Chain A
Amino acid sequence: MHGAAEPELGRPGLGRGPAVRVLPRLDDANRFFWTSGADGVLRFLRCDTCRCYVHPPGPVCPYCLRGELLPEAVSGRGTLHSFTVNYQPWIPGDGPYAIGLVAIAEQDDVRLMTNVVDCPEQALEVEMAVEVTFEQVEDVWLPLFRPAGRPRPTAAGA
């Protein structure tokens, strides 16, 4: 999966992420998030009282301090708040890949650092619309994001 190239205009294509995915250590607080993609759906904790989304997961709603937090599905859509293309080979085998900071459509102060995939470097734009696509590595489904509303280039990741 990693390093799938998209050659263009003589510049190296962007990979989907680093050569090695360092994975989160799953625990009772974060497991729902990192396994949410198993059914293709992104989920965040949401307060049943004030209805705010809460991220990262915590034991209490930081807004109202009263409600109960439960995982709830979101649309998987968002906007690219910022991005960078990493060129530094931190790990042997690293090629360039795009790191994005995505604000989710449901609540724009909930953000995810992620990889932006299926998008050439020149097409990356702050505030572009993106949608989630998951990459499974071991027992973790990493939420990556791709330009919204464009046909998938291949069946990969389905």
Chain B
Amino acid sequence: MAVDVLERRAVISGIGQSQVGRRLGRSDLDLTVEAALAAIADAGLTRDDIDGLATYPGGAMGGGPFAGPTTPDVQDTLRLRLNWHDGGGEGPGQIRAVFAACLAVAAGLARHVLVYRTVTESTAQGSGGRVGIGQAMGAAGAGRGVPRFGGSFQWMLPFGAVSAGNWLALVARRRMHEFGLTRHQLAWIALNGRANAARNPKAVYRQPMTMEDYLSVRMVSTPLCLYDCDAPCDGSTAVVVSHRDYAADAPSPACHVNAIGTALRGRPSWDQFDDMTTMAARDAAASMWGRTDLRPHDVDTADLYDGFSILTMVWLEELGFCEKGESGAFVEGGKNIALDGPLPLNTSGGQLSGGRLHGFGLLHEACLQLRGQGGERQIAKRPEVAVVANGGGPIAGSMLLTAGRG
């Protein structure tokens, strides 16, 4: 291979997750500390060993319940002494913070990096303080002085295209036109997530869901219905990214980073991207496969972003699990993606049923499965290779993880 795949010097040595649920009423910092201390202990470390800290998106995007605490907040709360730190909202998806940590470790800037992602959107929603664009508009619309927007939002908000649900509905409709995708097919992403969530005690929606339930629930933005959209929740997920030299000393099997996918070659917007049926997942996946000798058929389980069901469909194709345009047929009936199928998908329930832990829940699940710690939902033949994908639309990143055995 022509390139030095420096991320391969990194492993995920520890994972941790706070309480997850709806309207927990706990602060973002409180949840983050719970997840962080769990991850540090899981890695067999103490906070004195942590010399790096990273998050997404940090103080960017205006902070608030979507953002979680900043790295200075967490550094100070845990009194960490850091050689490297990074919080930011621009990059290849939410998982960019993990990528940055891998590269920091590879470069020798840090040895053990704590990476976290925290949301308190459910509690904020309950108290009327969730700062989504739509909600901000609603508040403004109800009173006086609707704010004006510059930048990329000016091309969408005046037309009531206020949510990623609207923007991704355009992707879904285009896929129906080009590939003949149907709602009966799309449903299987939601149905599969719900079936898996029943085995995940932390999942926010665990009651069974049928095809009839899916087809009869209200529309959000056609052709996407309520069950195509993930569920806001409260929770924090943390991982420790360490140099691979540490892998043998970690109490749990370390998950080795095999390759990361970071490319963005199309125009970075929801309206001008060259191919509206794929968007940035195409580029991230291509760049990831260009950094490894592993191939799609080597992958044993997939944790693919499902903030909206249509994104998972796109990832399935762009990561090479089926041909372009064929993901509808691939998921139909659910057998290919079931826990006991050839490609167990979003085994925690994903974000549709597990809750919107915003990409990091999927990463956490991939690590659990590779370690054989999936409990009631452990894949019977313990997986050796997992792929994790975050984001979609014009923002996407993916990574391959391998089990650390022997």
> Which residue of chain A lies nearest to B155 when distances are taken between CB atoms in the complex?
A113
The reply to whether B157 and A22 form a contact with Cβ atoms under 8 Å apart is: yes
- Residue A83, interface by CB 8 Å: yes
The reply to whether B159 and A99 form a contact with Cβ atoms under 8 Å apart is: yes
- Residue B146, interface by CB 8 Å: yes
Q: Mark A59-85, 1 if CB is under 8 A from B, else 0.
A: 000000000000000000000011111
> Which residue of chain A lies nearest to B170 when distances are taken between CB atoms in the complex?
A82
Per the bound structure, the CA–CA distance linking A111 and B219 in Å amounts to 25
Within 8 A of B (CB), among A37-95: 55-56, 81-88, 90-94
> Which residue of chain A lies nearest to B274 when distances are taken between CB atoms in the complex?
A109
Set of chain B residues within 8 Å of A140, measured between Cβ atoms: 158
Set of chain A residues within 8 Å of B140, measured between Cβ atoms: 20, 22
The reply to whether A84 and B169 form a contact with Cβ atoms under 8 Å apart is: yes
Number of A positions contacting B (CB below 8 A): 44
The reply to whether A88 and B220 form a contact with Cβ atoms under 8 Å apart is: yes
The reply to whether A18 and B146 form a contact with Cβ atoms under 8 Å apart is: no
Interface of A is mostly: loop
Q: Mark B105-149, 1 if CB is under 8 A from A, else 0.
A: 000000000000000000000000000001101101110001111
Q: How far is the CB of B316 from chain A (nearest CB, A)?
A: 20
The reply to whether B141 and A82 form a contact with Cβ atoms under 8 Å apart is: no
Q: How far is the CB of B128 from chain A (nearest CB, A)?
A: 13
- Residue B156, interface by CB 8 Å: yes
Most chain B C-beta atoms within 10 Å of own C-beta, residue among A18, A20, A55, A127: A18
- Residue A97, interface by CB 8 Å: yes
Q: How far is the CB of A43 from chain B (nearest CB, A)?
A: 15
The reply to whether B272 and A91 form a contact with Cβ atoms under 8 Å apart is: no
Per the bound structure, the CA–CA distance linking A25 and B134 in Å amounts to 17
Q: How far is the CB of B394 from chain A (nearest CB, A)?
A: 13
> Of the 9-residue stretches B74-82, B90-98, B160-168, which lies at the interface with chain A?
B160-168
Set of chain A residues within 8 Å of B221, measured between Cβ atoms: 84-88, 99
Q: How far is the CB of B77 from chain A (nearest CB, A)?
A: 35
Q: Mark B157-186, 1 if CB is under 8 A from A, else 0.
A: 111111101100111111011000000000
- Residue A126, interface by CB 8 Å: yes
Q: How far is the CB of B389 from chain A (nearest CB, A)?
A: 23
Q: How far is the CB of A116 from chain B (nearest CB, A)?
A: 10
The reply to whether A109 and B138 form a contact with Cβ atoms under 8 Å apart is: no
The reply to whether B174 and A88 form a contact with Cβ atoms under 8 Å apart is: no
Given contacts A19-B141, A101-B276, A109-B274, contact A82 B177 (CB under 8 A): yes
- List 10 tightest A-B contacts by C-beta distance, closest first: A18-B160, A84-B169, A20-B141, A24-B154, A90-B134, A25-B148, A126-B177, A82-B170, A82-B174, A22-B157
| A→B interface (CB under 8 Å) | 17-27, 30, 55-56, 81-88, 90-94, 97, 99, 101, 109-115, 121, 126-127, 137, 140, 142, 144
